[in-house]
Amino acid sequence: MKLLILFLITAMAFTGCSTTTKEASYKQITPDEAASMLETETGYILLDVRTAEEYEEKHIPGAVNIPNETIGAEEIPELSDKDQLILIYCRSGNRSKQAAEKLAKQGYTNIVEFGGINDWTGETVSGEQ
């Protein structure tokens, strides 16, 4: 019996000392909140993660196009500062969430995902910029 109690106390002590890893995360906001941030923030990157064709058809002015499908484990030259504010959007919000998760796992610390251009009420432009 004493051996069992000693074993349980030892097991509890070791489980209490386990380390937890910080999960990669990003913030989600609405397109309206993103529009306000674009007016007040500086030094950010506005990232459109749709295909090049979708981007050329219509995008938010000042957006950089890096398709979600090209974001992997490799470093991204356009996103060299991992602490810079990155505002991400796509068409409906699915790819932007995927891209935000991938970037967070790569160590980017200031990611804000705001859904899709389908819900954007602000200005858009056509063609490559």
Q: Which two tokens mark 89?
A: 């959007």
d(CA 37, CA 28): 13
Q: Tell me what percent of the chain is helix, strand and coil, each rounded to the nearest 5.
A: 40, 15, 45
DSSP per-residue letters across 9-37? HHHHHHHHT---PPPP--EE--HHHHHHH
DSSP per-residue letters across 39-62? HH--S-EEEE-S-HHHHHHSB-TT
* Residues designated catalytic: 90
